[in-house]
A = this chain, B = another copy of it.
Amino acid sequence: MSLLDYFRKSKKSTASLAKERLQIIVAHERQNRLSPDYLPQLKQDILEVIAKYVKVSEDKVSVEFEQNDDLAVLELNVTLPDYK
């Protein structure tokens, strides 16, 4: 399954809302635990970068973080203002 398929599928379930949406996923495969973990700071930086392009209110951002031994996945979901 390609990533486009993945998002297209997840989009369908929320299609009725027809909102402008931005989703950012950062996945970090760590070879071992010695490697630095900078995802939390990276999250903040990416949010600041996005804010350069769109007006994002903090209550429109949801953040999820999943982690196991060698894989960390950070997911940001941003609901954007409507363009009409």
Looking at chain A's contact residues, the main secondary structure is mixed
**A24 vs B26: C-alpha distance in the bound complex, in angstroms?**
4
Whether A45 contacts B52 by the Cβ 8 Å rule is: yes
User: A26 contacts which of B22, B32, B82, B84 (Cβ < 8 Å)?
Assistant: B22
Interface extent on A, as a size class? 35 or more
The 10 closest A-B pairs by CB, nearest first: A21-B29, A35-B83, A23-B27, A25-B25, A38-B53, A4-B66, A45-B49, A20-B31, A7-B27, A34-B83
- Give residues in A with beta carbon < 8 Å to B: 1-4, 6-8, 11, 18-32, 34-36, 38, 41-42, 45-46, 49-50, 52-54, 66, 68, 71, 73, 75, 80, 82-84
